[in-house]
Structure 1
Amino acid sequence: MAKPEKLLDLPLEDVIGDRFGIYSKYIIQERALPDVRDGLKPVQRRILYAMAQDHNTHDKPFRKSAKTVGNVIGNYHPHGDSSVYDAMVRMSQDWKVRNVLIEMHGNNGSIDGDPPAAMRYTEARLSAIASELLKDIDKETVGFIPNFDDTTEEPTVLPAKFPNLLVNGSTGISAGYATDIPPHNLGEVIDATILAMENPECTIDDLMGHIKGPDFPTGGILQGVEGLKKAYQTGKGKVVLRGKAEVEPLKAGREQIVITELPYEVNKANLVKKMEELRLDRKVEGVAEVRDETDRTGTRVVIELKKDGDAEGVLNYFYKNTDLQITYNFNMVAIENKTPKLLGLKSILMSYIAHQKEVITLRSQFELQKAKDRSHIVEGLIHAVSILDEVIDTIRASKDKKDAKENLSKAYGFTDAQAEAIVNLQLYRLTNTDIQTLQKEADELEKTIARLEAILSSDKKLIAVIKKELKEIKERYSDARRTKIEEKIEEIKIDLEVLVASEDVVVALTKEGYIKRSSLRSYSASKSEETAMKDSDRLLWQSEVNTTDTLLVFTQKGNYLYIPVHEIPDKRWKEMGQPIAQLVPIDNDDVVIKAIPIKDFNVPLYLTFMTKLGQIKRTELEHYTAQRRSKPLVALKLKNEDALVNVFLTDGTSNVLFVTHKGYGLWFDESEASIVGQRAAGVKGINLKDDDFVVSSHTFSVGGNPDLVIATQRGALKKLAIYRELEKSTRARRGLVMLRELKSSPHRIVKALLVHDEDIVRVESDKGKLVDVQANQLRAADRYSNGSYYLDQDEDGKLIDAWLLERVDESKED
């Protein structure tokens, strides 16, 4: 009869939670995280133990890696061979492990990320320092557990004669936990361990007097002692790690950057490839070639520069944009008392010291018992020699070995162990020399027993033994520090010249917000033609600038766009530009009003703003440099219904001029407007009537003598000599009327322009009529006239705009 199935009705959530909990516990404790005592994961421990059991040590010939992998899988680690071989290879890679635990013959991979040869081709053996991890394992110093099939036993931890967790570091990912412990210098770690033993109350600062910081096998430069100290205190912290590079001179005044050390675990081939890609994509200028000249003498990556290349700038660019500089995050998680814990430096050292105390105690107990057992036998042998004839007679009279042992015990009081040693004694040992040897051995054993008992009874002597053995290891295996420690994290500054090839170009911006740059060649070829634009559009600004300059584009809503010239789309002069909103998104109802190119933000100049409601604001230019430029930035604070009319780059000595819709004009020194912050609203520039507003504003230098051309909605143009017709005033006045007031259909100013005789003014009507007028054809009028008509309001329509045709950039307005 079939056995009935036993089904459990359980919630899926409980079942999955329970099973995952068991799985998590296993991979945390038995796979991915190192033990704080010996710094090894289970697979690493099993590899080292299997090799030691096979006597595959540094003083023996190399053996095939496949044989070791087979032993490990067959006896201790029932997993795939690749996981065992990969762990074995990593312990042999001197660019990943500070003190290699396995020596390997053959291809064991490379810093370029090349895979190792298959295990059937490579040979391996334990390194000398790995033997120190396993030393005394046969003296009952550590616990053993049955292996997976109960055919043999494996150690739960290795004796570890040096703090391997800190020396070689560890990295791993588990369920809910990850670990990143960097390698350190063996000598420094041992010095710190001795300090912690001598003074358990020592601080992190005391320990950092010995351990300066991580000591990576690939060297490099570590920056950020503050982050380092935090990591050593808490187990988590962040430092910057950069490669070591030097600038070497070449012939003809050229230079090259030579990188000799890389940050830890950076793939050299990928780094060189990335650098070459940045060069080819012209993201960095001044680099002629990047090549890898690494050979058996060491790492050597050469960045050859062009004749005008800036070595420091190029190096800083590569620090910022490649893995030549990385951030290393400490996450010092290890298994302590079967539990994963985030450990600081002192906790790791104290756990190691506690482990060593236990190892030396157990070893001393083992050796003491051995010494006592041997002393007991030697005592019996000495006694037997002293009554040798009787002992021989007793043995000869016995039937067999068992009888002889019993007779010796009965007759002379020997213990079973002593009697066994006597009957096994070879006759040649009965010479006079061996009697002396036995006596000498007895004396040595007595001293050994006394020494071991002293160690077991005194914590001070126990520590002295650990210190002595640590110092011996330091003397034998320690080497010089490779990683340089720098206190501060250096701020990387990259000059624009390094990123962008310096080139003079022509940039054009239209009123509807289309922008482009063209090479001087393309511009010269089409010089007679205007830049391509829509029929309804017109040119707002055009100028020759350099690709290393920055363009500040201001909008009516008081915002500005920070646009490096090299980021403006490069197009032929005959092509239309790109909407500026595709470079920096602006509101649909916002319009661009002005563009100002800037070479250097640190020059002592000002941005002077004038608004529709008569406000004026001055702010130092340096406040308008920007790091983030993906969205419009605030240029000035505007009140409701106010709008920016114009903005100028001034030197603090200019005159400013306001022109209003109802015909008022006011000019005064710009210095009357005090200097305020970037987001401020400014002060009143002109005192407006209730229904009046500013239509134009200008600046001109002291001593400059421009004329003012006024265009009215009725199609009239009028030219005024500013110095003669408009008396200079002060800020916040109403100004002087510049038009004769008519009772019916009065003139209202649409636009006012500063002109010189050679300038051409173009006026536009709402019916699309365009009329060009040369400034020297306009007769200078007085304030009380309305000028001459150039449009017929009935036939041509109402005048809506006026601008200078030839001089599109307003830099000559003085």
Structure 2
Amino acid sequence: MSDNTENPNVTGTTDLTTAQSVSSKVGVVTLEEELKKSFIDYAMSVIVDRALPDVRDGLKPVHRRVLFDMYDLNAVNSGPTKKSARIVGDVVGRFHPHGDSAVYETIVRMAQWFSMRDPLIFGQGNFGNIDGDGAAAMRYTEVKMTKIAEQMLADIDKETVDTYPNYDGQEQIPEVLPTKFPNLLVNGSSGIAVGMATNIPTHNLSETIDAVIALLDNPDLTLDELMQFIPGPDFPTGGIIVGNDGIKKAYQTGRGRCIIRSRTRIETDKSGRQTIIVDEIPYVVHKVDIVNQITNLVKEKRIEGISDVIDLSDKDNAVKIAIELKRDAFPEAVLNNLYQSTQLQASFPINMVALVGNHPKQLSLKEILTEFVKFRREVVTRRTVFDLRKARRIAHVNEGLMVAKANIQKIIDIITSSDNTEDARLKLLAQSWDGQMISTVIQRTAEGVNIALPQGVEEGVGLIDGHYHLSDAQARAILELRLSKLTHLAQDEIKDNYNALLADIKNFLDILNNPERLKSEIRNELVEVKEKFGSPRRSTFTVDLGKVDKGDLITRRDVIVTLSEQGYIKYQDIATYESQGRGGRGKLATKLKDEDYVTKVIVASTHDRMMFFTNKGRAFVRMVYDLPTSDSRTAKGTPVQNFINIDIANGERITALLPVSDFNG
């Protein structure tokens, strides 16, 4: 009481001193800098750990973890399928601390034939369809790896790739899979990160491997030379690729676009009615959306000539859309309108962004292939080093066993006279053994070093001045030797194994020391994958008529253009209308409805421009060869509104036609 009374500010002073002491230990950070740093950290986390694939194996972390987990659980192609829920739970529990739905969606996509050019997972059950319907729940479906997926994990047990610990530090996850084929191009990838995205189309495996081999042999290949092997994407849903300007730009800069058109054919029934059959549709387009789009256009009367649209797809025909035409419809004109108004023709934006050394980079086609070649060099080198180390270790032990067999009685005496195993081991190490027999089988390098001597073996080991000194590993192997190995047959077996290992060691050393041998190993493995898993191209190419003068493809000839009162137009060769002899009835120019009749008959060349004038004072120009034609002389033609944008609803109609050969002064 007295202290506080005498000095009432003591408590306040103490609090202030404490606050000053604490503030001196806490750093001052501006909000702007903290936000910037935190956002960059978050963005890089999304880019590296979720959204973008690695240029080497073409996989995002979740895809890589799924495949590695299936490999670890032995869910291989030759074995039985496992419940998807089992795989999902194992991946989430061991490697991927995120939602299980993301993992299952990854599995589903890798099993869908219409999503990946060469699916990496075999799925049993409902894994969705091309209409966009989702897969069944993970508890109902089963999966295992496909054969080609096993090629992505080949040699992973030979220290071919680096690993890092999982989130609890109990297990190791591979940084990348040692794939034998360029999966980034073959199966493509898509993803959205923070501030960037990737959208890489699928490609043909055989073509891609041919390009890799060509680049392996000649690193100075130009883009045009590479495109002789890879002319463009190859989509799992097939289709027709229109033009290649956008593709070449994408291959050159990493960004461009690819126009995909549905594959169609025309069927004609006995009555002459025609039907457009759609067998293939653009990539990542849902079939049901196309059917709905066409149906809506017909209902809204925005497109003429279609009587019905039927989806005939079944288990034997994944895509089969029947577009039934009216009798007077012109199939090519209907298709051109559908290409412009529906997803029967779609544009695929190409944006080739991938991680190179954990940094996002926009890549050209050559850069992607170059990175893969570089990766395969590293994988084959690391695998060869692993095999060499293992072969040397086994050969070194066999050397010791052969020495023991040559001095078997002395070995037995030392072991039987020893107090224990450790005493026997030390005595074996201290002894100098007769090396006359082993000296005839040891092979050495030009420098005189035993090619089977492992790295890290202590000094003073091996054949020295005619005497052999055992290593610790050899002494332990001798002590573990079974009596059955002391027979002559077993001795010959050990020697044969040793000679086989020496041949392997020389082969491994040749691969490591000879760049041409390394290239040969890479090439042979690529050819093997191509021969085993290659398939014909599904997407074909067509010329972009917007870039080509169509007139160069059309023969110049005289034709007769007819237009009816109700707006039906067509042209036919002038030879169809021959002069008649006296008393002839003449030929019917066209067969129209009872209330319709021909109002305009114009003679023109196929290369003329036809000018259409309307009662609203507007004029339109079309090339004559772009107008509809027919093999049937009596066909009534096609509604003119299918070719020129006249306002039929408000009474606009064609009042005059004028063919013009040349617009001159």
TM-score, structure 2 normalization: 0.76
Instruction: Encode CA deviations 1:546-577: one digit per residue, 9 max, x unaligned.
Output: xx9844348xxxxxxxx95535447xxxxxxx
d(CA) in 2 for partners of 1:564, 1:466: 59
d(CA) in 1 for partners of 2:326, 2:542: 31
Aligned-residue offset at 1:600? 5.8
d(CA) in 2 for partners of 1:120, 1:427: 54
Q: What are the ranges of 5 or more consecutive residues in structure 2 without an aligned counterpart?
A: 1-14, 434-468, 551-563, 569-611, 619-643
1:406 and 2:426 matched: yes
* SS of structure 2 residue aligned to 1:304: strand
Aligned-residue offset at 1:409? 1.9
Instruction: Encode CA deviations 1:662-718: one digit per residue, 9 max, x unaligned.
Output: xxxxxxxxxxxxx86xxxxxxxxxxxxxxxxxxxxxxxxxxxxxxxxxxxxxxxxxx
User: What is the root-mean-square deviation in Å for CA atoms of aligned residues?
Assistant: 2.8
Aligned to 2:84: 65
Aligned to 1:395: 415
Question: Which amino acid in structure 2 is aligned with residue 384 of structure 1?
Answer: A
Aligned-residue offset at 1:180? 1.1
The equivalences for 1:75-114 within 5 A come to 75-114=94-133
C-alpha spacing 1:502/1:149, structure 2 compared with 1 (3 Å): farther
Aligned-residue offset at 1:13? 2.7
Matching residue within 580, 584, 603 for 2:659: 603
C-alpha spacing 1:489/1:172, structure 2 compared with 1 (3 Å): farther
Report the number of matched residues.
532
Aligned to 2:477: 421
Aligned-residue offset at 1:401? 2.5
* SS of structure 2 residue aligned to 1:252: coil
Matching residue within 198, 208, 213 for 1:194: 213
Aligned-residue offset at 1:503? 4.3
C-alpha spacing 1:421/1:240, structure 2 compared with 1 (3 Å): same
1:241–1:263: 8 Å Cα contact kept in structure 2? Answer: yes
Instruction: Encode CA deviations 1:157-182: one digit per residue, 9 max, x unaligned.
Output: 11111111011111111111111111
d(CA) in 2 for partners of 1:115, 1:597: 49
Aligned to 1:257: 276
C-alpha spacing 1:504/1:201, structure 2 compared with 1 (3 Å): closer
1:332–1:344: 8 Å Cα contact kept in structure 2? Answer: yes
Aligned to 1:226: 245
2:567–2:653: 8 Å Cα contact kept in structure 1? Answer: no
C-alpha spacing 1:38/1:602, structure 2 compared with 1 (3 Å): farther
Instruction: Encode CA deviations 1:370-405: one digit per residue, 9 max, x unaligned.
Output: 111111001111111122222223222233332222
d(CA) in 1 for partners of 2:566, 2:76: 65
Aligned to 1:144: 163
d(CA) in 1 for partners of 2:471, 2:359: 48
Question: Which amino acid in structure 2 is aligned with residue 322 of structure 1?
Answer: T
Question: Which amino acid in structure 2 is aligned with residue 183 of structure 1?
Answer: T
d(CA) in 2 for partners of 1:258, 1:93: 24
Question: Which amino acid in structure 1 is aligned with residue 522 of structure 2?
Answer: I
Q: What are the ranges of 5 or more consecutive residues in structure 1 without an aligned counterpart?
A: 494-500, 506-547, 555-562, 571-595, 605-619, 624-674, 677-814
1:459 and 2:515 matched: yes
Question: Which amino acid in structure 2 is aligned with residue 402 of structure 1?
Answer: E
d(CA) in 2 for partners of 1:602, 1:199: 60
Indicate the structure (1 or 2) with the bigger Cα radius of gyration: 1
d(CA) in 2 for partners of 1:383, 1:410: 14
C-alpha spacing 1:360/1:600, structure 2 compared with 1 (3 Å): farther
Question: Which amino acid in structure 2 is aligned with residue 466 of structure 1?
Answer: I
Aligned-residue offset at 1:416? 1.0
1:550–1:564: 8 Å Cα contact kept in structure 2? Answer: no
Instruction: Encode CA deviations 1:490-526: one digit per residue, 9 max, x unaligned.
Output: 5899xxxxxxx99479xxxxxxxxxxxxxxxxxxxxx
Question: Which amino acid in structure 1 is aligned with residue 427 of structure 2?
Answer: N
2:567–2:654: 8 Å Cα contact kept in structure 1? Answer: no
Aligned to 2:532: 476
Aligned-residue offset at 1:129? 0.7
d(CA) in 1 for partners of 2:270, 2:424: 95
C-alpha spacing 1:549/1:435, structure 2 compared with 1 (3 Å): farther
* SS of structure 2 residue aligned to 1:552: coil
d(CA) in 1 for partners of 2:547, 2:217: 40
Aligned-residue offset at 1:440? 1.0
1:246 and 2:255 matched: no
d(CA) in 2 for partners of 1:223, 1:81: 40
Where relative contact order (Cα < 8 A, 6+ residues apart) is larger, the structure is: 2
d(CA) in 2 for partners of 1:99, 1:502: 56
More helix by share: 2
1:443 and 2:443 matched: no
C-alpha spacing 1:145/1:564, structure 2 compared with 1 (3 Å): closer
C-alpha spacing 1:11/1:148, structure 2 compared with 1 (3 Å): same
Instruction: Encode CA deviations 1:589-612: one digit per residue, 9 max, x unaligned.
Output: xxxxxxx953565435xxxxxxxx
More strand by share: 1
Question: Which amino acid in structure 2 is aligned with residue 566 of structure 1?
Answer: D
* SS of structure 2 residue aligned to 1:172: strand
d(CA) in 1 for partners of 2:658, 2:410: 111
1:552 and 2:616 matched: yes
The equivalences for 1:126-205 within 5 A come to 126-205=145-224
Aligned-residue offset at 1:297? 1.7
d(CA) in 2 for partners of 1:504, 1:197: 62
Matching residue within 56, 60, 65 for 1:46: 65
Instruction: Encode CA deviations 1:191-215: one digit per residue, 9 max, x unaligned.
Output: 1000001000111111111112111
The equivalences for 1:710-725 within 5 A come to none
Aligned to 2:365: 345
